[in-house]
Amino acid sequence: MASRAEAADAGGRRDWRDVVRDAADLALVGILLALAAIPLVTAAAAAGTASAAVHDWTRTGSWPPARATLRRFRRSVLPGVPVSLLALAVAGLLAADLVALATGRVPGGPPALLVT
């Protein structure tokens, strides 16, 4: 089966309802990604699983089965924990930097705060 991009290039006209349906599907993937990333430890696994699902959708034109998606998620939770913890540490350091700049503990804080 041709990919979604190839179908559009081949002159296949898409109805506005197709575009709205695709937008709604992608919005649902984004909502599910946000919900799965709430525990923070699962953020990397959620992003990887959503990315793989969208890749499958663009290649085949249909979403992968729920069982396959859950299997991908379970497989990627453990390897994604260090990445999620690293992202959390970086966010914490950035927050500490912003607090130091905002409270004036750093010389030139207000201009640096604007840049940051």
Contact of 69 with 53, CB cutoff 8 Å: yes
Q: Which pLDDT band, with edges at 50, 70 and 90, does 94 fall under?
A: very high
**Average pLDDT score over residue span 87-113:** 86
Contact of 42 with 77, CB cutoff 8 Å: yes
Domains: count for the chain: 2
Output the pLDDT for position 80.
84
Based on the domain organization, do 56 and 84 belong to the same domain? no
Give per-residue pLDDT as tens, 35-68: 988 887 888 899 999 999 999 999 998 999 999 9
Cβ partners under 8 Å of residue 47, min gap 6: 33, 37
Q: Is residue 34 part of a domain?
A: yes
Based on the domain organization, do 32 and 57 belong to the same domain? yes
Give the pTM.
0.65
d(CA 116, CA 36): 29
> b/e string for 46-72 if b means 16 or more Cβ within 10 A?
bbbbbebbbebbeeeeeebeeeebeeb
Based on the domain organization, do 16 and 60 belong to the same domain? yes
Range of the domain at 102: 77-107
Give per-residue pLDDT as tens, 16-41: 998 999 999 999 999 999 998 888 78
